Amino acid sequence: MKFFVDTGEIDEIREAAKLGILDGVTTNPSLVAKSGRKYKDLVKEICDVTDGPISAEVLSTDYDGMMFEAHEWHKVADNVVVKLPLIEDGIKACVTCTKEGIKTNVTLCFGPTQALLAAKAGATFVSPFVGRLDDIAYDGLELIREIRKIYDNYKYKTEILTASVRGPLHIRDAALAGADIATIPFKVFGQLLKHPLTDVGLKKFVEDSAKIPKGTMILERDKALKH
């Protein structure tokens, strides 16, 4: 499963990249507005942090505006992916981008037939919003399972990019469902790692390590690292 970070905060992206397991970044107009940054400046800075896919969302809602922005984003860097909303003009723009070799992330997906349209339009990624479905008592993970089955039935290459993630269980369940990617809020990255029994177990191991007579390796380590 590929991990993207879902944020407009460059510091969070840098921190996530330090883990060594970051595969890409997704942004959206709300996240960028929150950052206070100009969109293109922010995306260019993100390009300096990762060479993985970076999703930049069009602000237009009409075909011509979307295509203008798509061409502008395509000039920024090869790893910039154009994010298009799952509306009629977004699907039309996705078809054109596909023909022109521009990578796309079709977003605001809430139903399996929408995801089917995105795949038929040649989307590189489709972003089903699991958290927002859960928020209104729909089963967000069921959508992931439905899309996975549909895409496998027809061998669509569009990658399922699980979005609107609210916590580590979304990642677990999306991975079990066979999603290709999860785009993860920065705070959730930390939640994936932590388990109280790991901390308890390591504390005991450290305590017991101190009882082991120091051998050459440890003595040389301490000398080398000036412990």
| Residues at the site binding ligand G3P, with contacts judged by CB under 6 A | 6, 26, 28, 127, 129, 131-132, 163-164, 183
Closer to ligand G3P by CB, 17 or 222: give it.
Answer: 17
- The pair of structure tokens assigned to 152 is 């496998």
Active site (annotated) includes residue 211: no
Q: Where would I find the H helices in 58-193?
A: 63-76, 88-100, 112-120, 130-135, 140-154, 168-177, 186-193
First to last CA, the chain: 38
Rg (CA), the chain: 21
Q: How far is the CB of 85 from ligand G3P (least distance, A)?
A: 11
Q: How far is the CB of 156 from ligand G3P (least distance, A)?
A: 21
Other Cβ atoms less than 10 A from the Cβ of 31: the count is: 16
Backbone angles phi, psi at 62, to 5 degrees: -110, 155
Closer to ligand G3P by CB, 6 or 159: give it.
Answer: 6
Q: How far is the CB of 163 from ligand G3P (least distance, A)?
A: 4
Which residue of the set 34, 44, 83, 214 is catalytic?
Answer: 83
Closer to ligand G3P by CB, 6 or 9: give it.
Answer: 6
Q: How far is the CB of 139 from ligand G3P (least distance, A)?
A: 16
Q: How far is the CB of 103 from ligand G3P (least distance, A)?
A: 16
**How distant is the alpha carbon of residue 117 from its chain centre?**
21
DSSP, res 36:
T
The residue written with tokens 């699907």 in the block is 91
Closer to ligand G3P by CB, 137 or 197: give it.
Answer: 137
Closer to ligand G3P by CB, 59 or 218: give it.
Answer: 59
Long-range (24+ apart) CB contacts under 8 A made by 177-180 are 177/141, 177/144, 177/145, 177/148, 178/144, 178/148, 178/152, 179/1, 179/144, 179/148, 180/1, 180/2
Residues identified as active-site: 83
